Amino acid sequence: MPEGLADIATIVLTGIGLVFFLAGTVGLIRFPDVFSRLHALTKADNLGLGFIVLGAGFQADDWTQLAKLGLIWALALLAAGTVAQLVARAALRQEGRE
């Protein structure tokens, strides 16, 4: 891919990722309860990070950098899901539902 097109793809995909991060932050601030906040934050942030990793992938020099970016995204997905489960379980216990 020509360098100019790779730069444009990086800018566009990173911009889309930042919009998803902004949407997740707005959901965190505006939604009324813990569970809807968790949903907004984990979904939007995972998508946002995916777009940013995809955009950064266009700037990678070789496949090892692409693999590292993919590993970062996979670990972030795993961590976000685990933390969301723990926070939701703690919120359920605090409300007396469990």
* Domain regions of the chain by residue span: 3-95
Task: Specify the pLDDT at position 2.
Answer: 72
Enter the pTM of the model: 0.85
Residue 96 zone, left/alpha/beta (φ > 0; ψ -120 to 50; rest)? left
Q: What's the confidence (pLDDT) of residue 29?
A: 92
C-alpha to C-alpha distance for 31 and 28, rounded to whole angstroms: 6
Q: Which long-range contacts (CB under 8 A, 24 or more apart) does 36-39 make?
A: 38/84, 38/87, 38/88
CA distance linking residue 91 with residue 84, whole number of Å: 10
Q: Is 19 left (phi over 0), alpha (psi -120 to 50) or beta?
A: alpha
Question: Which pLDDT score, from 0 to 100, does residue 64 have?
Answer: 95
- How many percent of the chain have pLDDT more than 90? 70
pLDDT below 70 — which residues of the chain?
A: 1, 97-98
Token digits of residue 65: 């950098």
